[in-house]
Structure 1
Amino acid sequence: MQTLKDGALTLKGSVIAIGAFDGVHKGHQAVIRQAVEKSLVHQVPSVVYTFDPPPRHFFKGAQILTTIQEKLSRLYKLGVDYVIVASFDEWYATRPPKDFICELSMLNPVEVSIGSDFRFGKSREGDVELLKKYFQINETLPVYCNGGELISSSRIRQLISEGDFQQSYSLLGW
């Protein structure tokens, strides 16, 4: 697996999974596995496009579930070919959605895998519908635990703050 900064990679074809992937929990794993499987079908590299720090931490100071090193280790175990790590800072947060689309275009994606709630660009102006105008999009359905509750980084943070480490580890799936 090769790790690069945003804008540093050009490919003739790829399948991309995009997200903060903080914790690389079971829901994230579904998005990433889908991209890796599709990349094998299309015989192109798989790419994970992620952010450091996660946007929720940048904007709201949310607890980070995994360091960038832990995240990269988990992505490696999922069989990803390339990881692009965007430095999420003040400049990045003010980029218009079109800049992000241009950057993705350099990777010539055959497909882009995202969660259904994915937003991007300044003030979260970009959404799934905008991406669909430029790329073939695979929206991964939300993943729920056995109790029927949504698996999310926010929920895992809440469980950790309540001291429920057993359930939080279960949702992380590592």
Structure 2
Amino acid sequence: MKTLRDGVLTLSGSVIAIGAFDGVHKGHQAVIKQAVIKSRISQVPSVVYTFDPPPRHFFKGVQTLTSTEEKLRRISMLGVDYVVVASFNEWYATRPPEDFICELSKLNPIEITVGSDFHFGKDRKGDVSLLEKYFRLNVAPPVYCNGGKLISSTRIRQLISQGDFQQSYSLLGWQAGIK
């Protein structure tokens, strides 16, 4: 897996998964795996586009579940070809959605996979509807645990704060020994 930090990657074709992917939990894994499978079928590279720090950490100071290095390690285990890590800072947070669309177009995506709640650009003005105007979009369905509750980074943070490490590890989907 090749990692590009704060640069522009240009490809002749790709399948992209976009998200903060904090923790690379089972829901994130589903999004990334869909992109990897589609890229292999289409014989183009798979790309994960992610952020450091995650936007919620930048805006709200929310605890991160994994370091960027650990996130990259976990993503590499899913068979991804490239990862673009954008530094989420004051400048990045003020970019208009069109800047992000322009950046994605350089990857020539045949498909982009995101979660249904994906937003981008200044004031979260970009969303799934805007992306669909420019790219073929795959909106990954939410992933639920056996108990029927949504798997999310927010829920995992809540479980950790309650001391329920067993349940949080289960939702992360990684062996407890993996740090």
Q: Distance in 1 between matches of 2:112 and 2:7?
A: 17
Distance in 2 separating the partners of 1:56 and 1:148: 25
Question: Structure 1: any 5+ residue segments left out of the alignment?
Answer: none
Q: Deviations over 1:96-140 (max 9, x none)?
A: 000000000000000000000000000000000000000000000
* Alignment match, 1:166: 166
Aligned mates of 1:59, 1:82 — CA distance in 2? 27
Quote how far apart the aligned CAs of 1:5 are.
2.0
The amino acid that maps onto 1:146 is: N
Ranges in structure 2 where 5+ consecutive residues have no aligned partner: 175-179
The 1-side partners of 2:141 and 2:124 are apart by 20
CA distance in 2: counterparts of 1:156 and 1:41, whole angstroms: 33
User: Equivalent residue of 1:133, what SS?
Assistant: helix
1:26-80 C-alpha deviation (Å, 9 max, x unpaired): 0000000000000001100000000000000000000000000000100110000
What secondary structure, in the 3-state scheme, does the structure 1 residue paired with 2:92 have?
A: helix
Q: Figure out how many residues of one structure are paired with residues of the other and give that number.
A: 174
Q: TM-score, normalised by structure 1?
A: 0.99
Q: Alpha-carbon deviation of 1:7?
A: 3.6
Aligned runs of 1:21-100 on 2, under 5 Å? 21-100=21-100
Structural mapping, 1:85-124, within 5 Å = 85-124=85-124
- Do 1:16 and 1:46's aligned partners in 2 also have CA atoms closer than 8 Å? yes
Q: Distance between the aligned counterparts of 2:76 and 2:39, measured in 1?
A: 15
For the residues of structure 2 that align with 1:22 and 1:90, how far apart are their CA atoms?
A: 19
